[in-house]
Structure 1
């Protein structure tokens, strides 16, 4: 038999099977009642029609309803967390197993200082070079006399700011960062930046308060400068009524003169005047000041001369010391700096002599210390394809039972109604 004929016969038998499909078949009806068989076939068709319509309606409904979905990922690594946060930024939650983490685990702060603190001008070589030239100097507001102490104080400022920052960092690093759940990268960066700025400002304020206390204590208590730059004293003898010789101590406050006015240390501890190399020549040291107290003088001074090699060479020449193995190179103007050559030491010190704060924060290190054992996210959305299919499969059994009960009875009721319908009379 040709294959086309076989296919035709197969299709014919398939069509006949579909047309005669009867899931409500009974042995009695198959033998005795053709009418009953027809009713059963119609019931079968009705059953499948209802089943298909029901499945279509249920599929549409189940696929469109909004449901809350919750997912958990156990022991997520950092990359998995970032992927989750990228997709579900507002709903992902990863509880920390370690809720208090020391700052040192994920924050690193370094400070770079003004280049003068690493230069020859804050070393004992330079300080002693100036002091050597002033061995036989009488107290006077000249570079030979006050230069060494000024640079010694500058070196002290470099050391004290460095120590202050190191001690502050030690305390800062021990502070605990409290975090119940993993913070997002954006919030983490915002909070750590705020913490770092608070640390910087509090460290500056602490140093400034200490410095101000020293200045106020020195000036308010009338302490005499170790270099006798604010005042000196002498004694004048006098005789008492019983012919005893006594002495009066007479204080002599020094006066500093600038280009416009005179200022007495008895009136203000902040009196200063430009520094000349010595009393015998007119070599002015640009930016340098002498005053009642070395601290006040240094704070008003600047380093403009030491950015200029010609100025430094002139100072070296005027010092006229036998020491020749010290290289005094000018400070580098090409280095990036937030300070100008004429910025006062007071302004530099107000920023702890720091050129730049280098802050490194690691969200990955923070995450590793937080060590979440799971991440959870929930959201409201439509059922996915798998959920729809599994739900429909679960409902088919119930639908089958219900429709098997309903379909044949509907058809029987319909058939009885048709039989009881009054037929119109056909008369001539």
Structure 2
């Protein structure tokens, strides 16, 4: 059979098939009968149904094709403003709903300049150590507690660095969860909020642990070996008296009830049994504080003297040492001023 005749026969058969196609005729074996008029009506309905179905399929095909093309083009640069606009009106479920923060965030800690200076090293701590003479200076004399203060400061630096690194590791191993693709602005806002919360909670938790230790010391009335919170009298009637501090002409503060009592540190020319009486001929250097415990007095001290070479030289001159130390440089990078506690 020639191919032309075959095509004509196929077209003729197709026309006849679609002309008589009836999708709504009664099923075979049913009791319903279809007369000629009903058959014609069902045939027309079938044609309308097929036309509508074809139009619907074409529309859906074009719509889906356009949508896929739009998303594919946007992924070339997902940070354009158009993507945010598109995502605000679309729902794009993620194939992976969770990510570790460490996969897209890198945090680094930066400690105060003092933590990388000579003033937390043994060379400085030994240079200002008065040995067995510490209990013969005035209670507020820096030579009584200075070495212990900077031992505590060195401990704070080490503990802070370790504590920060542990919390950074924990943060980077925590999970960010989102079932849907987020606009850049929303994503950035959530990440900034998470980092801000991290920066607030870590110092607060560290301070809370330190406060707990100090409360235990105060509650159990543990006596400092430097006699900065309790003074032991060795006269005819031996007794233990709580130390009292007066800061900037405020009311006296008793170490029995408050471990945070502080006063201005001095350099006294009196070298005798431990006393808390102050005399007129005392030398005061800016920023130095005394208190019930070296660990608390260093926290209320400022480091301004250690940014000033003349002040630092004056401080070192009160100790029998030949060591030389250089003052720190005031850097604008730090968020702490030299007179910050």
Cα drift, residue 151 of structure 1? 1.0
2:173 counterpart residue number:
174
Instruction: Provide TM-score, normalisation by structure 1.
Output: 0.56
Structure possessing the higher relative contact order (Cα contacts under 8 Å, 6 or more residues apart): 1
Cα drift, residue 296 of structure 1? 2.3
Q: Matches of residues 192-207 of structure 1 in structure 2 within 5 Å?
A: 192-207=191-206
The answer to whether 1:104 aligns with 2:63 is no
Q: Matches of residues 97-136 of structure 1 in structure 2 within 5 Å?
A: 97-131=95-129, 133-136=130-133
Q: What SS does the aligned partner of 1:252 have?
A: strand
Paired residues, what number?
266
Q: Which moved more, 1:143-152 or 1:261-270?
A: 261-270
The answer to whether 1:333 aligns with 2:330 is yes
Higher strand share: 1
Q: In structure 2, what is the Cα distance between the partners aligned to 1:87 and 1:286?
A: 58
Cα drift, residue 309 of structure 1? 1.0
Cα drift, residue 259 of structure 1? 5.1
Q: In structure 1, what is the Cα distance between the partners aligned to 2:176 and 2:267?
A: 55
Cα drift, residue 136 of structure 1? 3.3
CA change 1:194–1:236 in 2 (3 A) is same
Q: In structure 2, what is the Cα distance between the partners aligned to 1:257 and 1:121?
A: 27
Please give the per-residue CA displacement for 1:18-63, whole angstroms capped at 9, x wherever unaligned: xxxxxxxxxxxxxxxxxxxxxxxxxxxxxxxxxxxxxxxxxxxx9x
Please give the per-residue CA displacement for 1:308-360, whole angstroms capped at 9, x wherever unaligned: 111001112222313x3x4x22222243332222212xxxxxxxxxxxxxxxx
Cα drift, residue 307 of structure 1? 1.6
Cα drift, residue 215 of structure 1? 1.8
CA change 1:182–1:139 in 2 (3 A) is farther
Please give the per-residue CA displacement for 1:247-288, whole angstroms capped at 9, x wherever unaligned: x97322223345525443335333222222343463322211
Q: What SS does the aligned partner of 1:108 have?
A: coil
Segments of 5+ residues of structure 2 without an aligned counterpart are 1-54, 271-280
Q: Matches of residues 140-289 of structure 1 in structure 2 within 5 Å?
A: 140=137, 141=139, 142-233=141-232, 250-258=239-247, 260=249, 262-280=252-270, 282-289=282-289
Q: In structure 1, what is the Cα distance between the partners aligned to 2:108 and 2:295?
A: 27
Please give the per-residue CA displacement for 1:121-164, whole angstroms capped at 9, x wherever unaligned: 11221111111x44433354322221111111111112222222
CA change 1:187–1:139 in 2 (3 A) is farther
Q: What SS does the aligned partner of 1:330 have?
A: coil
Q: What SS does the aligned partner of 2:109 have?
A: strand
Q: In structure 1, what is the Cα distance between the partners aligned to 2:294 and 2:230?
A: 13
Segments of 5+ residues of structure 1 without an aligned counterpart are 1-61, 238-247, 345-428
Q: In structure 1, what is the Cα distance between the partners aligned to 2:178 and 2:248?
A: 61
CA change 1:226–1:69 in 2 (3 A) is farther
Q: What SS does the aligned partner of 2:339 have?
A: coil
1:69 to 63, 77, 85: 63
Q: In structure 2, what is the Cα distance between the partners aligned to 1:316 and 1:271?
A: 26
CA change 1:99–1:220 in 2 (3 A) is same
Q: In structure 1, what is the Cα distance between the partners aligned to 2:199 and 2:127?
A: 36
Q: In structure 2, what is the Cα distance between the partners aligned to 1:137 and 1:90?
A: 69
Q: In structure 2, what is the Cα distance between the partners aligned to 1:78 and 1:128?
A: 62
Q: Which moved more, 1:182-191 or 1:225-234?
A: 225-234
Q: In structure 1, what is the Cα distance between the partners aligned to 2:248 and 2:171?
A: 47
Q: In structure 2, what is the Cα distance between the partners aligned to 1:220 and 1:295?
A: 16
CA change 1:339–1:236 in 2 (3 A) is closer
